[in-house]
Amino acid sequence: MAGKVYLVGAGPGDPDLLTIKAWKIIKKSDIILYDRLVDSSIIRKMPKKIKKISVGKKIGEDSDVQQERINELIEKYYNKGKIVVRLKGGDPFLFGRGGEEAEFMKMKKIDFDVIPGITSAIGVPTHAKLPLTHRNYSSSIHIIPGHLKKGHELNWEMISKLEGTLVILMGASKLEEIMNNLMKNGKSEETPVCIIQNGTTKKEKILKGNIKNISEIAKEVKAPVVIVVGKVVKLLD
């Protein structure tokens, strides 16, 4: 019997923001390989017959080693004829290495489909009543990782010149560095910034400031956070 793999987006946090299609796929699966950011209530609601394996990267763990383990599990259960769901926070193809997993499955000739999810980059600000575009403030959105693969650097000179709204993911531990890079490359220190922690959940917390002072205001902030930089942040006032 042939197996099947689904790369599934679990949404930005609130379990009710999981799509209907994603839930249908989950309920018919045999194996769930889920990330750390997938809300625990989603896991608890799954039928008991489904095997659930946490594959979220732990603090200090080598991400490449962990990714190899995930790839091995996908291939192992697929070859056993199982329906496998690789459940990822947000959308499976926005950061989070979903594209690499798709490449691996193509190389191994694994039959897979992708189920989109609501990305935290848009879902979290929207839930906080913050529009990322507004004809009086911003006509574009630029989604940026807080850090890149070791040995790669973001082009802060180019990023700082962008006129639209900047949405920065995975930036909690690099907040001060990010703001300093924006200022050093010409972004006004008075540019409004907000940080949304645990967005869309009951633990949601919103902090506001500007490029100059947000690092001090949010010095206790911990992941997961979405950082929004730009004039649209004024709409939270």
Spatial neighbors of 162 by CB under 8 A, at least 6 apart, are 140, 142
The answer to whether the CB of 12 falls within 8 A of the CB of 118 is yes
**Active-site position among 4, 82, 105, 170:** 170
Q: How far apart are CA 8 and CA 93, in angstroms?
A: 9
**The two three-digit tokens of residue 207, written as one number:** 């902090």
35 is catalytic: yes
Structure tokens at 218: 């949010």
Q: Tell me which of 57, 212, 231, 234 is the catalytic residue.
A: 57
Based on the residue annotation, tell me whether 57 is a catalytic residue of this protein.
Answer: yes
Rounded CA separation 211/208 (Å): 10
Residue 138 is classified by DSSP as B
Which residue among the candidates 35, 39, 82, 208 is catalytic per the annotation? Answer: 35
Q: What is the 3-state secondary structure (H, E, C) of 7-55?
A: EEECECCCHHHCCHHHHHHHHCCCEEEECCCCCHHHHHHCCCCCEEEEC
- The residues that are catalytic are 35, 57, 170
